Amino acid sequence: MSTDLTTGSARVAFYNDPKVRSIVYQVALCVAIALVVYGATTNAIDHLRRAHITSGFGFWDDPAGFDISQTLISYSSAASTYGRAFWVGLLNTLLVAGLGIVFATILGFTIGISRLSSNWLLAKFATGYVETIRNIPLLLQLLFWYNAVLKALPDTRDSIAIPGGAYLNNRGLFLPSPNFLDGFGAVLLALILGLIVAVVFHLWASKRQERTGERAPVLWVTLALVLGLPVLVFALRGFPLSFDYPQAGRFNIAGGVEVLPEFAALLFGLSIYTAAFIAEVVRAGILAVSRGQTEAAYSLGLKPGPTLRLIIVPQAMRVVVPPLTSQYLNLVKNSTLAVAIGYPDLVQVFTGTVLNQTGQAVEVVAVTMLVYLTISLVTSLAMNIYNRSVALVER
């Protein structure tokens, strides 16, 4: 007598089989969702058509007719289209989001590590910073920075002249813009070449250190390659660089590169706000590393500085990176508050002006949502790749 334990599931009617049921329910749910989406879309299209509201993307090639105060690519109200205005807005958003992420990370890591410092004053200052900044809504902070920046700076007629040919007033910071003359290409080539050789040298130096324990003079070599070489080429080619200096006109200062106060206020506000959150994430990551690691490092004779840099932080990064990604995405989305202070980001230019002039709310908002979704997905993809590369590989 042998009980056959290897027969599969007991024989039941197919409509009672759990596997079949789950498949049927899932298919039914998908069909229902698809029906709802299809119905909503056709309903919307039908209503739009009945109300004689134009739909489609024909407006993309229509002339824009309005001016934008900060454009990283060439744009003119006469010749540019709504599509071009979209790209201008998108570049402005990417600029402020990119710089914001960089500054917020640097500041956030500093504050987070400071909060765990043994220096009482530093720790208390960091705690105060985090608790204050985290609890005030970002919009209020942006308005504060914008008004503080505007009120603090002098009127355009009393501009502060910065040595070097720059001016600072409440309309912006005006810097001399560089004119790249012939021969500057060689300097750029020298820079790229220097960077490549420096990276190769780093790799060779760390292999050599692993083999023999001797450290090569990495810092000096890198400086010589990345700074010294391009400067040498620059001098040899006869200094191919001239500057366009800003000149005071009747109303405004013209010429040169203009950094808008709106841009500065948005950058400060976003960086300082997000840094408070990043500081807490970093603190959590560092506290998550076992205390035994620090003690072991000290017992090996390592000072607190190198311990933090070489042992604690690399292990903390595994805990830090996923919430850090969320903070980066928050920063990108919070940059849309630029609308409140007049910085021409994507939402202000596209979902504001273009939507109002063309009246095509559905298409414009859909495109904007897609853009932010894409930016967020790319950012989180990059962060996840990094996270996986530093993950602990467990047996």
Which of 42, 384 has the CB closer to another protein? 42
- From CA 111, how far away is CA 114, in angstroms rounded? 5
And the tokens for 98?
């990119």
Residues in the chain: 395
Cβ–Cβ < 8 Å for 339, 348 = yes
**Cβ partners under 8 Å of residue 45, min gap 6:** 55
Per rule CB under 8 A, is residue 223 in the interface with another protein? no
Per rule CB under 8 A, is residue 39 in the interface with another protein? yes
Positions 160 through 189 that interact with another protein (CB under 8 A): 170-171
Per rule CB under 8 A, is residue 22 in the interface with another protein? no
Per rule CB under 8 A, is residue 203 in the interface with another protein? no
- Contact letters for another protein, residues 358-377 (x by CB under 8 A): xxxx----------------
Per rule CB under 8 A, is residue 14 in the interface with another protein? no
Candidates 13-21, 189-197, 202-210, 334-342 — which segment interacts with another protein by CB under 8 A?
A: 334-342
The residue from 11, 19, 52, 395 that contacts another protein (CB under 8 A) is: 52
Per rule CB under 8 A, is residue 53 in the interface with another protein? yes
Cβ–Cβ < 8 Å for 338, 345 = yes
| Residue 54 Cβ vs another protein, minimum distance, rounded to whole Å | 4
3-state secondary structure of 254: strand
Query: Residue 116 has what DSSP assignment?
Result: T
Q: How many CA atoms lie within 13 A of 28 on its CB side?
A: 6
Which of 262, 280 has the CB closer to another protein? 262
| Residue 348 Cβ vs another protein, minimum distance, rounded to whole Å | 7
List, as one string, the DSSP characters of 138-193: HHHHHHHHHHHHHHHSPPGGGPEEETTTEEEETTEEEEPEEEE-TTHHHHHHHHHH
| Interface residues toward another protein, by CB under 8 A | 32, 35-36, 39-40, 43, 46-48, 50-54, 65-69, 77-78, 147, 150-151, 155-156, 170-171, 249-252, 254, 261-262, 339-342, 344, 348, 352-353, 355-361
